[in-house]
Chain A
Amino acid sequence: MTKRLLALVLLAAVVGCDHGFADPSREFGPAVPDDASLHPVEVHVPTTLGVADTPLVDGQGRPIGVRCATCHGPEPTLSWAAEEGAPTTFHEAVDLRHGDLSCFACHVESDRTKLHLADGTPLELRDAMTLCAQCHGVQVRDYDRGSHGGMNGYWDRRRGPRDRNHCVTCHAPHAPSYGSVLPVHPPRDRYLEAPTAPGSHAEGGH
């Protein structure tokens, strides 16, 4: 009896144990040295920065953008357009829905190619994230910790670089609320695809 019990226990041990690799060298891939230098994180700067959409559209229906510097800034190619009484077409497409902010809360009035912080410090357009950070501290903290804004490339920066979005990549600065979209890729599981004629169930079986 004891012998049989012992055999059972042994059998259970053999069956229950996790089988290792016949060739233990196959178990792991190459190690990454702990002191490996980290690859950079690059923040992708959107090409839409410093470009104002106009009400005009191109042949494919996309809005035609005009660079701010065309009319504003130190060397404008169309300086007259920025003068008083000139047409304001270029600003008509600006749909300002960003709290109670006015234009010059962020833009420098005397140099529209630049932004300014709340304390008046001027800022290049590509550094707009610093401006956003003044009010959206929670989002900045999450972004810095990798849980806001997404990323591309490597989770392990010892092995490769990482790309990150700019605030403006996802949030239009003048109307930053993230819009709604149509979902893609609907499931087509086989059990969803059995088309039954109306009433066929009742007629068929019962």
Chain B
Amino acid sequence: MSTDRRTMMKATGATLGAAAFARALAPLTEWTEDLSVEGFLQRHYKELSRDDMAAVLRRIEDQTREEYGASVHVEDVRPTPGVQFAYALNLSVCIGCRRCAKACHEENNHDRATNNSYIRVLEMSNGSLDLEHGNALYDHEVPAPGKFYMPVQCHQCDNAPCVKVCPVEATWKESDGIVVVDYDWCIGCRYCEAACPYHARRFNWTKPEIPAEEINPEQAYLSNRIRPQGVMEKCTFCLHRTRKGRLPACLEACPTGARVFGNLADPDSEIRWVLENKRVFVLKEDLGTQPRFFYFFDE
């Protein structure tokens, strides 16, 4: 009797267990074109071998061709030894034209409908650095009298709050100073968005929509490849360009030369000259985030 009872209990348990397991896996049966089996089973970025990575890149290229009709080249662009990136922006000459935001939008394959960009330009009143009163929605001739303009993007902090709060290590700081996101590892909890004191992270509420002919085909895994729905994204100082020695897209688009970019580790670099000779400050210094993004004034 007792044996029968045990057998029955085991059978019931197994059935219930199987049912629960099937129930738990039910969402996976709703796999659509947005998530392939390979994508779901993919390991963390840092755990991939070179061959794994190559396969992942080809998969992303195939998916982009399938879903967007665009033929793109996705690379895993890694830091150059001896390079420490930093950026500086001259508030004395920025006129608030927002061409940097537009260049970012196009370079980084942002969703067209939302005009998304990693750069938010704030119109500020002279004599104030109160971000609460910065206006990003100005729509008049610039520069307006009594105003100055402050573009804000990811500060690539050395002590980054966004990295600390990530529960799954989907975002981290790389050896050249860039804070990156593995879009295939991100679970979309948006803790990092809440933690960032510069409001620099963006969430993909929808699947980005971009016409095939507008897609920038030069892409990198950690930067401007088209992001899936439901993941965080952020400025990477255009690492797909800058790690190959090129200037970021926002700098090239700036009509006033307000932006200075370069290698902190090179004592002869433009960025070092600015930091050593201009009146430089960082935003919300009191928070101890230690940004790699600096603002400065002319004398």
Q: Shortest distance in angstroms between A157's beta carbon and chain B's nearest beta carbon? A: 8
Q: Shortest distance in angstroms between A102's beta carbon and chain B's nearest beta carbon? A: 28
A180-B143 in contact given A22-B49, A145-B270, A185-B102 (Cβ < 8 Å): yes
Number of A-B contacts (CB under 8 A): 154
Whether B97 pairs with A181 at a CB distance below 8 angstroms is yes
Whether B243 pairs with A29 at a CB distance below 8 angstroms is yes
Whether B247 pairs with A151 at a CB distance below 8 angstroms is yes
A152-B247 in contact given A147-B273, A180-B142, A185-B105 (Cβ < 8 Å): yes
Judged by a CB distance under 8 angstroms, whether B12 is at the interface is: no
> Which of chain A's residues 126-181 have a Cβ closer than 8 Å to chain B?
138, 142, 145-156, 158-160, 165, 170, 178, 180-181
Name A's interface SS: loop
- B79: chain A residues at CB < 8 Å are 27-29
Q: Shortest distance in angstroms between A199's beta carbon and chain B's nearest beta carbon? A: 23
Q: Shortest distance in angstroms between B217's beta carbon and chain A's nearest beta carbon? A: 19
Judged by a CB distance under 8 angstroms, whether B298 is at the interface is: yes
A147-B274 in contact given A19-B46, A190-B205 (Cβ < 8 Å): yes
Q: Which residue of A lies closest to B145 (CB)?
A: A180
> Which of chain B's residues 113-153 have a Cβ closer than 8 Å to chain A?
113-115, 117, 120-121, 136-143
- Contact partner, B175, options A28, A170, A183, Cβ 8 Å: A28
Whether A182 pairs with B141 at a CB distance below 8 angstroms is yes
Judged by a CB distance under 8 angstroms, whether B242 is at the interface is: yes
- A21: chain B residues at CB < 8 Å are 46
- Contact partner, B246, options A142, A154, A178, Cβ 8 Å: A154
Whether B247 pairs with A155 at a CB distance below 8 angstroms is yes
Judged by a CB distance under 8 angstroms, whether B229 is at the interface is: no
Judged by a CB distance under 8 angstroms, whether A37 is at the interface is: no
Whether B263 pairs with A156 at a CB distance below 8 angstroms is yes
Judged by a CB distance under 8 angstroms, whether A30 is at the interface is: yes
Judged by a CB distance under 8 angstroms, whether A23 is at the interface is: yes
Whether B114 pairs with A30 at a CB distance below 8 angstroms is no
A183-B245 in contact given A18-B172, A145-B273, A146-B273 (Cβ < 8 Å): no
Whether A160 pairs with B245 at a CB distance below 8 angstroms is yes
Whether B246 pairs with A160 at a CB distance below 8 angstroms is yes
Q: Which residue of B lies closest to A32 (CB)?
A: B80
Whether B78 pairs with A29 at a CB distance below 8 angstroms is yes
Judged by a CB distance under 8 angstroms, whether B299 is at the interface is: yes
- Contact partner, B257, options A148, A182, A186, A187, Cβ 8 Å: A148
Q: Shortest distance in angstroms between B134's beta carbon and chain A's nearest beta carbon? A: 12
- A184: chain B residues at CB < 8 Å are 97-99, 101-102
Q: Shortest distance in angstroms between A23's beta carbon and chain B's nearest beta carbon? A: 5
- B252: chain A residues at CB < 8 Å are 150-152
Q: Shortest distance in angstroms between A87's beta carbon and chain B's nearest beta carbon? A: 36
A187-B136 in contact given A28-B175, A155-B262, A181-B95 (Cβ < 8 Å): yes
Whether A187 pairs with B115 at a CB distance below 8 angstroms is yes
Q: Shortest distance in angstroms between B7's beta carbon and chain A's nearest beta carbon? A: 40
Measured CA separation A153–B245 after assembly (Å): 9
- B140: chain A residues at CB < 8 Å are 182-183
Query: B90-110 toward A: CB 8 Å interface, digit per residue (1/0)?
Result: 100101111101100100000
Whether A190 pairs with B247 at a CB distance below 8 angstroms is no
Rank and list the top 10 A-B pairs by shortest CB-CB distance, nearest first. Answer: A146-B270, A159-B245, A150-B257, A156-B245, A29-B78, A185-B102, A188-B115, A149-B257, A145-B273, A183-B98
